[in-house]
Amino acid sequence: MTAPLSPARLLFDLDTLRDHAMDAETLNALAFVMANELYPLLAFRQALVFECRGDAWTMRCVSGLATPTEDSPYLVWLGPAMRWLSTQVADARPTWVARDAVSAPPRIDEGWREWWPAGAYAVPMQARDGSRLGMLVFLLEAPPPAPLPDVLHGLWRTFAYCWETLSGKRRRGRRFSRRQWSIVAALLAVLMLVPVRQTALAPAEIVSREAEVVSAPIDGVVARMLVRPNQPVTAGMPLFALDETTLRSRATVLSREVDVADAELAAATQQAFDSPQSKSQLTLLQGRAQQRRAELEEVTAQLQRTRALAPRAGVAVYADPNDWIGRPVTTGERVLQVADPSRPGVLVQLPVADAISLEPGARITLYLSAYPLSPLHGHIIETSYEARPSDDSVVSYRLLASIDDIPLPAHARLGLHGTAKLYGQRVVLGYYLLRRPLAALRAWTGW
């Protein structure tokens, strides 16, 4: 037993210990301070630091041992000894446990007599929520003299606060018991069986359900667009004109060839009365004149088709006139559309990766980018069974839906884009959440 310290020295040592505990960056560093730096105050034979994890006790530090050998007989005995000693400490107050005052199990008593002195001073480390963090055990020949236990009370609280902070218990909060985890798992399992409606999101555009394609009537070069984009048109109104220069030149040449063929035929007819040879050429000249006249009629007919006419009333739908002026086109090539704005619909490009089971009649909600607070509602009237690359090079299914809002909203204008929400069949929540992960797993593993 060391000589009693003066009050000034005692306060200095306590302040130093608190500083060292607060400076510890890890739990092992804190355990080293607790096990080794209290010797000037308690003069213990040995100090032990144990951490409590549920019902298990793990040794953190032993004073005087830099690297404890865990398979040594002494450290093997410490495990059951610590579990028994923890039962002798009922609350958060430090407890003096004397060997002769308790009835320890034979194995514990035998090891105590061999390795430990007359008593052990057990200081429990408690978190602020009352859970036990660990225990600090001092092996002494006699209990600490008064008033040292009262003086050290503040130091034990400092050690417990630092221990709780370094172990992260305050961040983790209270632990759930096995029964509580079982209840949570059962609730989640029941929740996964709740029926929900399967949905998918896809890009969409407002189009006309009554639209006709206007294509190039003949091969040629677009000379001018006669209507502007989104301009109202009537049936029979010219939409665009092809360049006529080549056809008019060809018509002029053929007209001269027809005149020549007619002149040759007239001369041969006059000579046929006197010359049998000229009479034999009449059939050939007549055929040549008819051929030239047929070619002229064909070119004349093509000249009449250089202007494309609107097949119905509506609006002209295309992007920019400058995209077409001077552009060569072939017969049947699409140039624009004539759409009826009073019959709008929704064209949806549903990517294959997001596809769900949809049937005609399934509900759809369209959220326009320009009017996100005014959705449009409708149902699917047409679906494609073949997926093709969309304008964004994404393989998608083409869906056509109606707009059922009555009266028709003013913002349901052709050409507006947005996002469509498609409503499929009802499925359980577990399938709804795990459908895509399961599909990806099967794609990667083949299972």
pLDDT, one tens digit per residue, over 236-251 is: 899 999 998 888 888 8
Structure tokens, 346: 């929704």
Is pLDDT at 7 greater than 80 in this prediction?
no
Residue 182 located in a structural domain: no
Is pLDDT at 271 greater than 90 in this prediction?
no
Which position has the higher pLDDT, 6 or 258? 258
CB 226 within 8 A of CB 240: yes
164-178, 344-358, 401-415: least confident range: 164-178
Residue 228 located in a structural domain: yes
Which position has the higher pLDDT, 397 or 130? 397
Distance separating alpha carbons of residues 362 and 399, to the nearest angstrom: 11
Cα 62 versus chain centre, distance = 51
Residue 73 located in a structural domain: yes
Q: Find the mean pLDDT for residues 9-26.
A: 82
Q: Of the candidates 114, 123, 115, 113, which has an alpha carbon nearest to the alpha carbon of residue 143?
A: 123
SS3 annotation, 77-131: HHHHHHHHHHHCCCCCCCEEEEHHHCCCCHHHHHHHHHHCCCEEEEEEEECCCCC
Provide the pLDDT for residue 127: 86
Provide the pLDDT for residue 67: 58
Provide the pLDDT for residue 52: 86
Which position has the higher pLDDT, 276 or 54? 54
Q: How confident is the model at residue 232 (pLDDT cuts 50, 70, 90)?
A: very high
Structure tokens, 421: 């929400």
Examine residue 124 and say whether the peptide bond preceding it is cis (omega within 30 degrees of 0). Answer: no
Say whether both 99 and 162 belong to one domain. yes
Say whether both 237 and 109 belong to one domain. no
Is pLDDT at 235 greater than 70 in this prediction?
yes
What is the tally of structural domains in the chain?
4
Distance separating alpha carbons of residues 168 and 163, to the nearest angstrom: 9
Strand partners for 121: 96, 138
Say whether both 79 and 95 belong to one domain. yes
- The fraction of the chain above a pLDDT of 70, given in percent, is 93
Residue 239 located in a structural domain: yes
Provide the pLDDT for residue 173: 47
pLDDT digit string (tens) for 249-267? 888 888 888 888 888 777 7
Cα 159 versus chain centre, distance = 46
DSSP calls for 40-73:
HHH--SEEEEEEEETTEEEEEEETT-SS--TTSH
Say whether both 271 and 350 belong to one domain. no
Residue 42 located in a structural domain: yes
pLDDT digit string (tens) for 308-365? 999 989 899 888 889 899 899 999 899 998 998 888 999 999 998 888 888 788 999 9
Sorted by sequence, the CB contacts under 8 Å of residue 109 that are 6+ apart come out as 99
Residue 234 located in a structural domain: yes
Q: How confident is the model at residue 1 (pLDDT cuts 50, 70, 90)?
A: very low
The CATH number covering residue 102 comes to 3.30.450.80
Residue 298 located in a structural domain: no
Give the domain extent around 155.
Answer: 7-172
Say whether both 312 and 420 belong to one domain. no
The mean pLDDT value of the chain amounts to: 85
Is pLDDT at 169 greater than 80 in this prediction?
no
Say whether both 263 and 352 belong to one domain. no
Say whether both 17 and 106 belong to one domain. yes
Distance separating alpha carbons of residues 262 and 255, to the nearest angstrom: 11
Sorted by sequence, the CB contacts under 8 Å of residue 358 that are 6+ apart come out as 350, 380, 383, 399, 422, 424
Say whether both 141 and 217 belong to one domain. no
Please tell me the pTM assigned to this model.
0.53
Residue 436: what residue type?
Answer: R
Match 């555009």 to its residue by tokens.
205
For 18, the 3-state DSSP assignment is: helix
Say whether both 15 and 147 belong to one domain. yes
Cα 74 versus chain centre, distance = 56
Q: Find the mean pLDDT for residues 261-283.
A: 71
Say whether both 320 and 352 belong to one domain. no
Provide the pLDDT for residue 355: 86
Where in 150-253 does DSSP place strands (E)? Answer: 195-208, 211-215, 220-225, 232-233, 238-242
pLDDT digit string (tens) for 83-142? 888 888 878 888 888 888 888 888 988 888 888 888 899 999 888 888 888 899 999 888
Say whether both 281 and 358 belong to one domain. no
Say whether both 226 and 251 belong to one domain. no
